[in-house]
Structure 1
Amino acid sequence: MTSLLIHGARKLDADGVVDGFWMHTSGDRIEAVGTGDGWRERIDAVEAVQPADAVAGGVTGPDAAGAVIDAAGRWLTPGFIDLHGHGGGGHSFDDGPEAIAGALALHRRHGTTRSVLSLVANPVPSLLVALETIAVLADTDPLVLGAHLEGPYLARNHRGAHNPDFLRSPTPEEVALLVARGRGHLVQITIAPELPGALEAITAFVDAGVVVAVGHTAADLALTKEAFDRGATLLTHAFNAMPGIKHREPGPVVAAFDDPRVGLELIVDGFHVHPDVVKMAFLAAPRRIVMITDAMAAAGSADGHYRLGTLNVSVTEGRAMLSGTATIAGSTLTQDAALRWAVEESGVDPVLAVEALTATPARTIGRADDLGLLRPGFAADAVLLDPDWTVTAVYAAGRPLL
């Protein structure tokens, strides 16, 4: 069994800011938390499962059994949760287990401890194979939360960086097939509710325990509200790949603002959504914003040419576009960078910004009882950050990742 004891931290989560905070983990759970010097009474519990040099000197590496860590006033947050990302570190989640491992390693170094793996539109047989691959990983790695199908049920006129050849309308038979192949690990699906059969598909996916997001859509306010009444509870990367807010045509974003059941994904990188619009979203839907990366393979890698599914992507100065077009093709974002953008450029309260990376995504996927907060009984996922929001250490399921 592993054990960690972090003390002297400035705790920051959805419960607020607490100085002089300490946290003791046992195995993959948080055992106890407190403030002041109470942590000293727990050193023996750590030493019992820990080499003496590691207790004295801090974490000795990713295989260390445990450690006593002086946070020295650094921020301590829950581990970040990314509900929507396609890859990173030069790798794509569509490309099999080795590529998935490479991409996850990049994001874990930047504080993302739990990930939903997003798949772009592809032929259904290819999606079935990818769902099976992710299901196998999720069975063995608790840090992999499951799969997100961002397609194939998207509107052609708002398809973004999805191959139009693979877009289609849902059928009951196909919905049942996708759910079955996910083996309980299909966490989320994005659907354009105007497609034939889409509203019925929303109901079927929700009944199967899948989080349905409205996105890549031309839906108006009324149709989006109908999708929410059918059980959709998320808006895929709000403002992007959907109608904007017009004074006589409010569109899907306003429908989501108005519905307390619905979360709104935001890509906070200073490019996808203007910093002032980010601030507006946090004010309009407090505690319902989910900051995602929507990252593709170039995240954490160099500018150049990449693939997103079957499409070519060119990345210049960190901005990913379909080659030869002005169409955005995901991001090169990591969640620590999103936190810095939100706080420093949009002026979002740090508590709300961290909540949008932790407790809100956990609640969105039905994991509010064990992910996203630094409380006893919750997963031992945590991130230490310097005052400038630079990640200095990452812990997941009670073990150091960085």
Structure 2
Amino acid sequence: MSNEVVLRGRIVTGSMDIADGVIAADAGRVTYSGPASEYRGKAGPATDNILLPGLVDLHCHGANGSDFSDGSADGARSAARYLHSRGTTTLLASLVTGSPANLVRNLSVLRTLTAEGLIAGSHLEGPFLAAGQCGAHDPSLLLEPDPALVTELLEAAGPSLASMTLAAELPGASGLVELLAPRGIIPSLGHTAAHTAAAAGFLEHAAAALSAPSNPTGRFRPTVTHLFNAMPALHHRSPGPVSASLSAARAGNAVVELIADGVHLAPETVKLVFDLVGAENIALVTDSMAATGLQDGAYQLGSLAVTVDHGVARVDSTGAIAGGTATLLDVVRTTVAAGVPLQDAVLSATAVPAAVLGLSSQAGDLRAGLPADVVVVGPGLTLAGVLRRGEWVAALAPTA
């Protein structure tokens, strides 16, 4: 029996912008994507809807009351399904710094969710971070790079571990790049105070190591974990990791994450980075935490108590920003409001992160043959519906 879905509206992807288009899907895959005038079937009346590819988030810690670092498989499923219902059809589940035992436990849980198809894999943000740039990570749990511990984490995660954030200046960071990248695990520069040369060398080394013949994943570009955040500000006499990251991205040798939620970065900064390095070298991310989708109040991020006030999450003990509370569709909307063209914002929230993960044949676009992940929005980018793998995703209500 056919389960065909036909949608009509403006199609916006990183590769096309069609004013009156049709997306047709059957058996979970796109069967037609193009102008309504060329569609052979029954398209229905024209609408003012906009049809976007399913969004792809490389960096999110939870949502809907659940934290991927709390060790609960049911909680992690709830967070992933909530994010699906808000348009993020592909995501990495990010873990904050924890004890080795908790990291092993949490990676095992996320390995199960990856096998279930709810997430695309896991991202370790720590524990090998600079203490002075720890942000919302518990400084008492930070460690020096430890190959033996990484080997243990790899055994727990199996093939599901996709990315790991490292501070370039820590002794042994280079050795971890050699351990991770040839397996297709993306080294991500972040939570770092590295000088310009060290940061540039890290990204260059990571790109070279990802090109090893033993890497079967199609992941070939390192990333920069939330550019500007948890690193020294760009200074004219000490440009630091920001300068190195922008240069690498401009050359196409790295992808920089931007938390363009209106809290982590000024809109002018977001627009400047798009102008400098191009949308094809940017991945919009959320850094979302458990409060995403919920009201202000008290929450947890890993081992740290967090309070959310007017949508801004901060660590109780230090006042540091503790992740985001926006969805990726919210981030796309904020990016467009900053002056970035819609097609560029969509590219950086879909095709670019999909390519970073080696998933260009599975996500990030609406070409015929791809899985039918479609986000239907109104003219103001308000959510109207989400199709994931050809099935409508229920609009999940927040848990509290």
Q: One fold, TM greater than 0.5?
A: yes
- Deviation per residue, 1:68-98 (Å, 9 max, x gap): 8767131101000111001111111122111
Cross-structure match for 2:237: 248
Q: Which amino acid aligns with 2:348?
A: A
1:379 lines up with 2:371 in the alignment = yes
SS state at 1:139 partner: helix
Cross-structure match for 1:93: 68
* Alpha-carbon distance between aligned partners in 2 of 1:26 and 1:392, rounded to the nearest angstrom: 20
Shift of 1:4: 3.4
Cross-structure match for 2:288: 295
Cross-structure match for 1:322: 315
Cross-structure match for 2:128: 153
Shift of 1:39: 3.6
SS state at 2:120 partner: strand
Q: Which amino acid aligns with 2:83?
A: H
Q: Say if 2:32 and 2:39, in contact at 8 Å, map to a contact too.
A: no
Cross-structure match for 1:54: none
Task: Say if 1:173 and 1:71 are closer, same or farther in 2 by CA, change over 3 A.
Answer: farther
- Deviation per residue, 1:86-141 (Å, 9 max, x gap): 11111111221111122123222221101100001001111111111111111122
Give % identity: 35
Q: Say if 2:54 and 2:388, in contact at 8 Å, map to a contact too.
A: yes
Shift of 1:38: 4.2
Bigger shift: residues 99-108 or 271-280: 99-108
Q: 1:353-364 residue pairs with structure 2 within 5 A?
A: 353-364=345-356
Corresponding residue to 1:104 among 80, 84, 103:
80
Cross-structure match for 2:15: 15
SS state at 2:349 partner: coil
- With normalisation by structure 1, the TM-score equals 0.90
Q: Say if 1:193 and 1:223, in contact at 8 Å, map to a contact too.
A: yes
Shift of 1:324: 4.2
* Alpha-carbon distance between aligned partners in 2 of 1:6 and 1:214, rounded to the nearest angstrom: 42
Cross-structure match for 1:61: none
Q: Say if 1:169 and 1:195, in contact at 8 Å, map to a contact too.
A: yes
SS state at 2:334 partner: helix
Cross-structure match for 1:200: 175
Aligned residues: CA RMSD: 1.6
* Alpha-carbon distance between aligned partners in 2 of 1:258 and 1:2, rounded to the nearest angstrom: 49
* Alpha-carbon distance between aligned partners in 2 of 1:175 and 1:272, rounded to the nearest angstrom: 30
Q: Say if 2:20 and 2:46, in contact at 8 Å, map to a contact too.
A: no
- Deviation per residue, 1:292-338 (Å, 9 max, x gap): 11011111101011110111001100000001432111111111111
Q: Say if 1:2 and 1:398, in contact at 8 Å, map to a contact too.
A: no
Cross-structure match for 1:271: 263
What stretches of structure 2 of length at least 5 have no aligned partner? 208-221, 395-400
How many residue pairs are counted as aligned between the two chains?
Answer: 375
Q: Say if 2:5 and 2:26, in contact at 8 Å, map to a contact too.
A: no
Cross-structure match for 1:55: none
Cross-structure match for 1:304: 297
Shift of 1:250: 1.5
1:179 lines up with 2:154 in the alignment = yes
* Alpha-carbon distance between aligned partners in 2 of 1:284 and 1:215, rounded to the nearest angstrom: 20
Q: Which amino acid aligns with 1:18?
A: I
Q: Say if 1:2 and 1:399, in contact at 8 Å, map to a contact too.
A: no
* Alpha-carbon distance between aligned partners in 2 of 1:77 and 1:270, rounded to the nearest angstrom: 22
Q: Say if 1:5 and 1:22, in contact at 8 Å, map to a contact too.
A: no
Shift of 1:2: 6.0
Cross-structure match for 1:138: 114
Corresponding residue to 1:164 among 139, 155, 167:
139
Q: Which amino acid aligns with 1:343?
A: V
SS state at 2:159 partner: coil
Q: Which amino acid aligns with 2:244?
A: A
SS state at 1:336 partner: helix
SS state at 1:356 partner: helix
Q: Which amino acid aligns with 1:244?
A: A
- Deviation per residue, 1:334-391 (Å, 9 max, x gap): 11111111111x1001111011110010111111232111101222111010000101
Q: Say if 1:339 and 1:354, in contact at 8 Å, map to a contact too.
A: yes
* Alpha-carbon distance between aligned partners in 2 of 1:123 and 1:274, rounded to the nearest angstrom: 34
What stretches of structure 1 of length at least 5 have no aligned partner? 44-67
